[in-house]
Structure 1
Amino acid sequence: MLFALIALVAAGITGCDGEPGTSGNSGSTGAGKADQPPSNPEPPKNSANESDDPVATVRTVLKGIQAGRATAIWDFLPSSYQDNINRVVREFADNMDPEVWKRVFTTLKRLSTIARTKKALLLKNPGLPLAQLDQDQLSDNWEKILDLLDSLITSELKDLKSLKQFDGQAFCEGTGTTFLGQLRALTSADPNDTLSQFDVSRITLKHKDANSAQLIIGLSPTAARTQPGVSEFIRIDGKWFPAGLAPAMEEALRRGSASVEALPAADVATARKQWMALLDAVDEAADGFEKAETTEAFNKVLADSQLKIMPLLAAGPAKPPATSAITTTLTVILQGSLDEATRKEHIAALRILAKAETAPEVTSSDDATTIILKTSLPLQAIVDGVKFGKVVRIDERQRSITVDPGKPQPAPKTPPKPAN
């Protein structure tokens, strides 16, 4: 999950598909858990990010990513995100079966070795998705790709005791920076590398107020595009952060927390039996891969193993919970003009639906009412639960929905009383 979050940050700073981010203010104020004490009471200060200069903030993190320093990404994260990452990893270590976790890494190491020794059977193999990639480029970078995997397999991630005291700052200083440095060595040589297209010396401020800023990140002379876009940033926990990335980060943290809560308690015999059955099937396949000398033999082992492994994966050792410990913001826009009584009724219904413990922020105009709630429920649960109107728009990235309440039904008229 941590590496997925790092990838999210890198993509969010530069924007999707190589374009600088252009999302508006999401209204997010961080993903902190109200009753959860910070895991780092005194987190390391990042003078660039916590300064009043968004240009210095973005320049610092972009330079750090380009140089392969994962600590630049960690320092860039708002403190509530840092706290929640640390908490989720530690809770995962508390809930994961130690015997299963050790076996997972033993199996991963074995598969990595097979990938090195059976390279000729994996590349240009018509039965594998790898055949769709540039085979020459893949062959040239094969060892580097496997080195990336090995840097994780041999790291502190394999030790649950270490993960129970996980500290993201320390992890990024060591394994995170090793991994990101290896990754940058792979991607920086690619002419389409997104990060290489940006000129960190040419970042200009277009607009700034107390809690939002617009930046233009300059392009290098070799960039495929000619016109830079505008990137929106907002303050979260006193740090400048991409506005369009905040909802995605909060959703990733929510999903990570939900996945941890879905794990059975450590040492549960049934769960261990299911995990071990899955790993036994993978190891049995590894036996066949190691013995295979031809592409045909390799693919037969793969096909046979899939018949055994897929049902085990489908069975799964746990069911995900309906909610998670991560509280995120949800914006609901009610279209049209509403009278005060109807507005209050809809707000109350939304608050009950979202299980929001705190009062929502509400702003209204002649043509719309905007309600910002705090909830731990997934967006789809809110969409499915709206009964007082029709959901006409869903924005998962911004975690917002637009509802058309329709015309209010007039109260039934009381028939006149008969005259005496």
Structure 2
Amino acid sequence: MGNASPSYQTDVTNLIHDFANNMDQQIWDKLFELLEQTGLLLNQKQDLITAMIEESLGGTGASPEEMQQSLEMMGKMLKTLVESDLGKHAKAKSMDPGKFLDETGKDLFKLIAETSKLEEGDPWNTDIKAKLKDIKVEVISQEGDTATISVSGMPDLPDIDELTAQLPGFDDSEVPGLSMLKNGEQEVVKVEGKWIPKAMAEGWKETITGASEMINTDLKDLLGPEEKKQIMTIMNAVQMGMASATKAKTQEELQMAMMQAVMGALMSAGGVKTGVSSKMDWDCQVLAIQTREQIISAF
């Protein structure tokens, strides 16, 4: 983001702030509380979780030590996110995206690199980073603030436009700039001293305006009081189950605690426990009851 023009950086920062401001503070903070608990669980119960995974999958090909190291890295990644400015709604509302990428982003990439070392062949450090170094950009022509460049060595990436076209509301939308991340010739223009893909520059204002309208209207009105109540009830139920999981001393106790978390979420979603309105999906209620009966019969 630091390579974008100042006005583009401001536009993105404002979008992020609008997004955070239109999200419910209690739901936001509760979500990151759950992520924090998950990180603690991955770090504190690596041996029990590893045993559960091996029993469920019948072996993964990795040694218990390697699996525990992977769980530890996942826990560290969650801890990094939770301790960043994203971790608290009050901070997220005024966070500096550039600073976040420069600090938290770098920390996460370091953890990704460490995790890669646990895999055979160390794919991140030996394959992906090597391919990124192979990217070459050649200037074909330049006239004033317009130029044509040739990009080669770009790794094969999913077509972003094709992926977003499959999502609701994205049928006829193109994300400026993302579709330009491919090999071949492309036009670029200079905006505020920075060279930017021409398609991105031409579609920027329209894209930012559309995103801002969506965030400040659709997102703002997405959750009503009843929806918020249900979401909070589900997350509280999961949190209770995870709190029990952190106290588990055996694999069986951990399994029971995890079942409690899943069961609590299903019952809350289906209205079995909370008695929420008839708008709740009846299938969720049936699934919650069946799951409860299966758990009871198993023990």
Correspondent of 1:270 among 214, 217, 226: 226
Distance 1:312 1:256 in 2: 33
Distance 1:288 1:260 in 2: 39
1:102–1:158 Cα contact (<8 Å) kept: yes
Distance 1:241 1:188 in 2: 35
Tell me the residue number matched to 2:129. 196
1:90–1:165 Cα contact (<8 Å) kept: yes
- C-alpha offsets along residues 224-243 of structure 1, whole Å, 9 cap, x if unaligned? xxxxx945554266455679
Tell me the residue number matched to 1:181. 110
Distance 2:140 2:28 in 1: 49
Residue 112 of structure 1 deviates from its aligned partner by 1.6
Q: Which moved further from structure 2: 129-138 or 271-280?
A: 129-138
Please state whether the residue corresponding to 1:123 is helix, strand or coil: helix
Tell me the residue number matched to 2:74. 145
Residue 169 of structure 1 deviates from its aligned partner by 1.7
Tell me the residue number matched to 1:288. 244
Residue 130 of structure 1 deviates from its aligned partner by 11
Distance 1:93 1:166 in 2: 9
Q: Percent identity?
A: 17
Distance 2:107 2:238 in 1: 28
Alignment of structure 1 residues 325-344 onto 2, 5 Å = none
Distance 2:258 2:102 in 1: 38
2:84–2:100 Cα contact (<8 Å) kept: no
Distance 2:190 2:213 in 1: 21
The alignment's TM-score, normalised by the length of structure 1, stands at 0.44
Residue 101 of structure 1 deviates from its aligned partner by 2.8
Residue 152 of structure 1 deviates from its aligned partner by 1.0
CA RMSD of aligned residues (A): 4.5
Correspondent of 1:214 among 150, 169, 172: 150
Tell me the residue number matched to 2:49. 122
Alignment of structure 1 residues 12-411 onto 2, 5 Å = 74-77=1-4, 82-124=9-51, 125-126=53-54, 132=60, 134-135=62-63, 136-187=65-116, 190-193=121-124, 194-198=127-131, 200=133, 203=136, 205=138, 207-208=140-141, 210-217=146-153, 230-235=183-188, 238=191, 239-240=194-195, 258=214, 261-264=217-220, 269-310=225-266, 312=268
Distance 1:115 1:161, change over 3 A: same
Residue 153 of structure 1 deviates from its aligned partner by 0.5
Residue 150 of structure 1 deviates from its aligned partner by 0.5
Distance 1:93 1:230, change over 3 A: closer
Distance 1:157 1:95 in 2: 14
Choose between structure 1 and 2: higher helix proportion: 2
Distance 1:235 1:130, change over 3 A: farther
Distance 1:129 1:88 in 2: 42
Residue 254 of structure 1 deviates from its aligned partner by 7.2
Larger Rg: 1
What is the identity, as a one-letter code, of the residue corresponding to 1:192? P
The alignment's TM-score, normalised by the length of structure 2, stands at 0.58
Distance 1:171 1:296 in 2: 40
Choose between structure 1 and 2: higher strand proportion: 1
Please state whether the residue corresponding to 1:205 is helix, strand or coil: strand
Distance 1:252 1:131 in 2: 48
Higher relative contact order (CA 8 A, sep 6+): 1
Distance 2:244 2:230 in 1: 22
Residue 255 of structure 1 deviates from its aligned partner by 7.8
1:285–1:305 Cα contact (<8 Å) kept: yes
Residue 277 of structure 1 deviates from its aligned partner by 0.3
Aligned residues: 231
Residue 281 of structure 1 deviates from its aligned partner by 0.9
Distance 2:40 2:133 in 1: 39
Distance 2:15 2:58 in 1: 33
Distance 2:198 2:128 in 1: 19
- C-alpha offsets along residues 164-205 of structure 1, whole Å, 9 cap, x if unaligned? 223222222332332233333433775322432237387352
Distance 2:67 2:140 in 1: 43
- Stretches of structure 2 that go unaligned for 5 or more consecutive residues are 156-181, 272-299
